[in-house]
Structure 1
Amino acid sequence: MILELIVPGRGSFVSSAPPSYQGHRYPVEIIAHAVWPYFRFPLSFREAGELMPGRGVIVSYETIRRWCAKFGQVYANALRRRRPRPGDKWHLDEVFIKINGERKYLWRAVDADGTVLDILVQNRRDTTAARRFFRTLLTKTRTVPRVVVTDRLRSYGTAHREVMPSVEHRCHQGLNNRAENSHQPTRQRERAVKGFRSVGGAQRFLPAFSGISPHFRPHRHRMTASDHRAEMTVRFAIWEQVTGVAGLSAAA
């Protein structure tokens, strides 16, 4: 999916005021530049901090941690508001993840384009957990799909009949590769950080990660080199808009 930068005279602009940076000693350009590589690449806070001296900035990893915690989800939400409405065919899947040595379950929903609709970390993968995920998904997307595709976990069938009985449910292992493939970036990040430390930490990180990381990862294999460069230019321009950097440049 290629994003389009909306400029005056070429379409309707998505109204979304950037967050407030009042009380922060560092300017917005530095904060935005520190946040995006942390969510895009498998970096620790210390490693993200080690990139900053290249821009002449000395900042502690704890400061970057606070920036990511405060602004990461805000940026991700702003990027999601600029995307098209989700498709009417949703793929749902769950995988286990280790959190502080204990097995938990990561529930994920994506549309037919692979766009992540919602992520929920839960202790179980029973009917209660499936029902909760369905309801949370409908609440966050504020829409009802035409079709949901799942694997053969029986909990999906029971929850589907209770929460969205009018929606077609296709249950087949081979049809759900879209959702299963969407777990790969999370697995890569999980290995890089050597596992998540808490359920709350994972739940806070993963929705922001799934909103920011794909923004900087277009389908490279479908583009020529020149198209890819042009697309990345557009995406960084959108990033500057949602973070507020573009507003400062226009005012200068």
Structure 2
Amino acid sequence: MTVIAVRWYFRFSLSLRDVEELLLERGVVVTYETVRCWCDKFGAEFARCVKAARPRPGSIWHLDEMFVTLRGEPYLLWRAVDEHGAELDVLVQKRRDKAAAKRFFLRVLRSNPVPNKIVTDQLRSYPAAKADIPELAQVKHVFVKAAARVNNRAENSHQPTRRRERQMCGFRDPQRTQAFLSCFGPIRQHFALPRHQMNAACHRAVLQERFAKWHGWTVADTVETVV
């Protein structure tokens, strides 16, 4: 049940207490703190498996930032997605200056190939940081106006985070927020299929394949013994 609890928490807008109640209905008695420990311990590993199993990322990066309030202080959540909407990485930072943009570029580059094109808004930190990174020197950089909504791929990627933020009554600790969102994006996308692009039978078949992969990633001797 550990595997199922972790999937529920990151896939759906459920609180830790919600997951505790769902498990109780199935005869599994645990506290919400136990569920938190499971998610902290195994969430990052599942997210890593999801990313490793995905197709090669697209060649276009869409980057954007959104404001989040943590303990009453404004922070920036930087996010990169490819042209297909697959989340490449996220990073919670206090600032949106050149150093912050460079830190984010380098983080995305650590786990993704160099893109052919980068699409951002007109924040001047992006070109300043890009100029300092040799791998990105020859990469085409396209600027879009926020009002034009050309960068919808990146802007729309914030919506699941906003919904989860409301459900959780806001994020709080920067480190815990970073850890949660690093798992939330990949795991949610693994199961959140584009239903408008497939019929019901195809959707069920693909989802069953995703379930099989998810359970195949579990290390039975490690995960299940925690229960």
TM over 0.5: yes
1:47 and 1:100 mapped to 2: Cα distance? Answer: 24
Which residue of the partner structure matches residue 132 of structure 1? 103
Q: CA deviation at 1:140?
A: 2.4
Per the alignment, in what secondary structure is the counterpart of residue 113 of structure 1? coil
Q: Could you report, residue by residue, the CA deviation over 1:181-205 in whole angstroms, capped at 9, with x for unpaired residues?
A: 0000000001110111110011100
The equivalent of 2:144 in structure 1 is 172
Match of 1:115 in 2: 86
AA matched with 1:146 = N
- The equivalent of 1:236 in structure 2 is 211
Q: Paired residue for 1:181?
A: 156
**Secondary structure at 1:107's aligned position in 2?**
strand
What is the SS of the residue equivalent to 1:149?
strand
CA RMSD of aligned residues (A): 1.3
Retained in 2: the 8 A contact 1:160–1:169? no
Amino acid in structure 2 at the alignment position of 1:223: M
Choose which of 154, 160, 172 in structure 1 pairs with 2:130: 160
Match of 2:21 in 1: 50
| Among 57, 68, 72, the residue aligned to 1:86 | 57
- In the TM superposition, what is the alpha-carbon distance from 1:175 to its structure 2 partner? 2.8
Q: Which blocks of at least 5 consecutive residues in structure 2 are unaligned?
A: none
- Note the alpha carbon deviations across 1:198-219, whole angstroms, 9 max, x for none: 1001110001001111111100
* 1:73 equivalent in structure 2: 44
How many residue pairs align between the two structures? 216
* Partner-residue secondary structure (3-state), 1:106: strand
Other-structure match for 1:6: none
Letter in 2 for 1:68: C
Report the counterpart of residue 26 of structure 1 in structure 2.
Answer: none
The superposition leaves residues 78-112 of structure 1 with CA deviations (integer Å, 9 ceiling, x where unpaired) of: 11101111111110001110111111000000001
CA distance in 2, matches of 1:136, 1:239: 26
Equivalent position SS for 1:95: strand
C-alpha separation in 1, matches of 2:13 and 2:201: 26
Where in structure 1 are there 5+ consecutive unaligned residues? 1-29
Match of 2:176 among 188, 201, 208: 201
Q: Distance in 2 between matches of 1:72 and 1:34?
A: 10
Residue 244 of structure 1 and its aligned partner are, at CA, apart by 3.8
TM-score (norm 2): 0.92
| Matches of 1:168 and 1:161, distance apart in 2 | 12
Question: CA offsets, 1:106-156, max 9 Å, x none?
Answer: 000000110000100000111111111111111122x21110000011111
TM-score, normalising length: structure 1: 0.83
3-state SS of the aligned residue for 1:121? strand
* Contact residue 97 and residue 103 of structure 1 kept, 8 A: yes
| C-alpha separation in 1, matches of 2:106 and 2:48 | 19
Residue of 120, 126, 138 corresponding to 1:150: 120
Take 2:210 and 2:144, find their aligned partners in 1: how far apart are those partners? 36
State the identity as a percent: 50
Shift of 1:42: 1.1
Q: Deviation above 2 Å: which 4+ runs of structure 1?
A: none
